[in-house]
Structure 1
Amino acid sequence: MNTITGTVSSICISPRRGTAKDVVAEARLIADWGIENDAHAGNWHRQISLLPRAAISDFNQKGAGVQPGAFGENLIIDGIDDLKTLSTGQRLEIGECLLEITQIGKKCHSHCDIFKRMGECIMPREGIFARVLRGGVIREGDRVMITDYEPLTAAVITLSDRGAAGLREDLSGALLRERLSAEGYRIVEYLLLPDDEERLKGELIRLADEVGVNLIITTGGTGFAPRDVTPEATMAVATRNAPGIAEAIRAESMKITPRAMLSRAVSVIRNRTLIVNLPGSRKAVGECLDVCLSQLEHGLNILLCRDGECGPS
């Protein structure tokens, strides 16, 4: 991957959330925390927010008249005009500091004053978020270099009423975490949930949109029982279909047992996250992973624009 470079145009901080930030000439970044004396610092994934200067300039040409920090952004970057095309896991070197991109864009839960005045706000669509891997001091004019990627991230969700009630050990979820880790994925979350469609939808949306997980694999809830609602929840949150993975799993599983035709598992994409349903039994999970796991990294690299296949054909 070619190195992408830009510069820090402005550094903005505020001691209180929900307010515009003030411009400072330099700031101290603290590893696993964020910017010293900034309200958004903390032990979470959105420690620092970034906006491209070009997006702010374009917005001001519409008459917005906003100043640096108006959107609550910490860093304004010059020379990288489309930050949202970057991917979670990429790293940014700024001076002596190192950041990791953790989220692209942000859902707007309550419209800010800028939105109420202009009818739009650029932060939800143009902003990106990062956590601090290596701290230090950054200053206006520091060079920003985007160079490499962290390992792909994954989350495992087991759907089982009995498991969630503590009546059954989750052997399938354990196998998934073991196999994904061995394949090089960084497991960021593991959930054991009852067969509840609304709750599963909420967790899938949260993991994809807020945590920015690259791959979510579910196990359980894919059969004909009335409580088997995993495919319905998965399809409900999809932005695009990716049926080939589920089709390939069913085709290969039919060679093992004809009951594979009864699986209703699906595979979909939600924005930049791939979601794959697997059956509930440990044996079936292992067999399904044998079919698909070696191909998922390539698909994710295309989805995340990591291998140069995102440009126009």
Structure 2
Amino acid sequence: MGYIRAVCISEKKGTGKKNVGEAVFIEDEGLKGDAHAGKWHRQVSLLSKEAVEAFKKRGASVEDGDFGENLLVEGFELKNLPVGTIFSCNGVVLELTQIGKECHSHCAIHEAVGDCIMPREGVFAKVLKGGTIHVGDEIRIIGETHRYRVGVLTVSDRSARGEREDLAGPLIRELVEKDSYLVVDQSIVPDDQKTIEEALIRLADQVKVDLILTTGGTGFSVRDVTPEATMAVAGRNAPGIAEAIRAYSGTITPRAMLSRAASVIRGRTLIVNLPGSPKAVRESLDFVLPNLYHGLDVLKGEVTDCGSKVHHLHR
């Protein structure tokens, strides 16, 4: 059990927030009037009051919201909670989606106070059920979901230049989030091998997603280099997934034999190349998604005895 010690909002990203005492939380959106609200996985930022107090003991003078937190929470060491933790506060339900974040440059917060603890101490959540939270409200942990973190990477010169709408990437997100998957990063890169490699490495090593799904760049064109980039960043090969998708797609169209898609493992992240067309993406995911659970659980270290696999209830 914990307590809300500040409810903070800012109208501009990268700046400190101000404690407003209470705020309306909108389902799958975030705090009403806050710059970080939107259809993504970091709708609400939370920071432990204990972490702020420890920072103050170093001689810094900071106010509630200075680190960009929406909710200052007392009673939980938030960074030690697992992704998927469910909080309930005055009827509002939040799901923890990310622990910490990458900081590319010193923001206004860092410039003002000399450091920013949010990247290493803060956590982020989605709003599952809306309502109003006030300072002093009790916040409880009511459960935990088992969701796999996914990065979606669209590979397309034209989409990267803004000349063609990316239809396949958003479709992947729509399809996987109907299941046990949560998209935490979605981006578009051109058909350039080095750029693709850098994007895959970032998702696997820094964002630390469980699964990367790419779309595009798997054909015979000279610019189709997604499989080469995927193999270049691989630690281990996992060819059966790509082979199974090709075999299944071959029952729909013989042109499936022309796919050069790869599937590999980098660290604890599985990377799977998907086709570029939305129709083929849907067909591939309908086939492969229900069969990935066990492999992802093994990668995450949650299964050691394959013969005694216990399926999660929500599946």
Report the TM-score when normalising by structure 2. Answer: 0.64
Which residues of 2 match residues 123-202 of structure 1 at below 5 A?
123-139=118-134, 140-149=136-145, 151-152=147-148, 154=150, 185=181, 195-197=191-193, 200-201=196-197
Contact preservation (8 Å) 1:21, 1:73: yes
Matched, 1:95 2:85: no
Output the CA distance in 1 between the equivalents of 2:300 and 2:24. Answer: 31
Instruction: Identify which of 249, 257, 262 aligns with 1:265.
Output: 262
The change in CA–CA distance for 1:190 and 1:49 in structure 2 (over 3 A counts) is closer
Question: Which residue of structure 2 lines up, in the alignment, with residue 23 of structure 1?
Answer: 19
Contact preservation (8 Å) 2:90, 2:137: no
- Show structure 1 runs of 5+ residues with no match: 165-171, 254-259
Matched, 1:67 2:63: yes
Matched, 1:243 2:240: no
Question: Which residue of structure 1 lines up, in the alignment, with residue 165 of structure 2?
Answer: none
Question: One-letter code of the match for 2:55?
Answer: F
RMSD (Å) for aligned C-alpha atoms? 5.2
The change in CA–CA distance for 1:208 and 1:117 in structure 2 (over 3 A counts) is same
Output the CA distance in 1 between the equivalents of 2:14 and 2:33. Answer: 15
The change in CA–CA distance for 1:183 and 1:38 in structure 2 (over 3 A counts) is closer
Output the CA distance in 2 between the equivalents of 1:308 and 1:287. Answer: 25
Give the fraction of aligned pairs with identical amino acids, expressed as a percent: 45
Question: Can you list the C-alpha shifts for 1:211-247, whole angstroms capped at 9, x where unaligned?
Answer: 98642223565689753432454467x6xx5515247
User: Which is further off, 207-216 or 226-235?
Assistant: 207-216
1:266: how far off?
A: 5.0
1:93: how far off?
A: 1.7
The change in CA–CA distance for 1:157 and 1:110 in structure 2 (over 3 A counts) is closer
Question: One-letter code of the match for 1:137?
Answer: T
Report the TM-score when normalising by structure 1. Answer: 0.64
Question: Which residue of structure 1 lines up, in the alignment, with residue 311 of structure 2?
Answer: none
Output the CA distance in 1 between the equivalents of 2:6 and 2:95. Answer: 19
Question: Which residue of structure 1 lines up, in the alignment, with residue 77 of structure 2?
Answer: 81
Question: Which residue of structure 2 lines up, in the alignment, with residue 107 of structure 1?
Answer: 102
Which residues of 2 match residues 27-46 of structure 1 at below 5 A?
27-46=23-42
Question: Which residue of structure 2 lines up, in the alignment, with residue 168 of structure 1?
Answer: none
Output the CA distance in 1 between the equivalents of 2:124 and 2:21. Answer: 21
Output the CA distance in 1 between the equivalents of 2:276 and 2:109. Answer: 48
1:79: how far off?
A: 2.5
Output the CA distance in 1 between the equivalents of 2:172 and 2:206. Answer: 22
The change in CA–CA distance for 1:48 and 1:122 in structure 2 (over 3 A counts) is same
Question: Which residue of structure 1 lines up, in the alignment, with residue 49 of structure 2?
Answer: 53
Question: Can you list the C-alpha shifts for 1:179-209, whole angstroms capped at 9, x where unaligned?
Answer: 9689755679998976333554576578779
1:48: how far off?
A: 1.4
The change in CA–CA distance for 1:56 and 1:301 in structure 2 (over 3 A counts) is farther
1:70: how far off?
A: 1.0
Contact preservation (8 Å) 1:102, 1:212: no
Alignment: residue pair count: 289
Output the CA distance in 1 between the equivalents of 2:276 and 2:37. Answer: 39
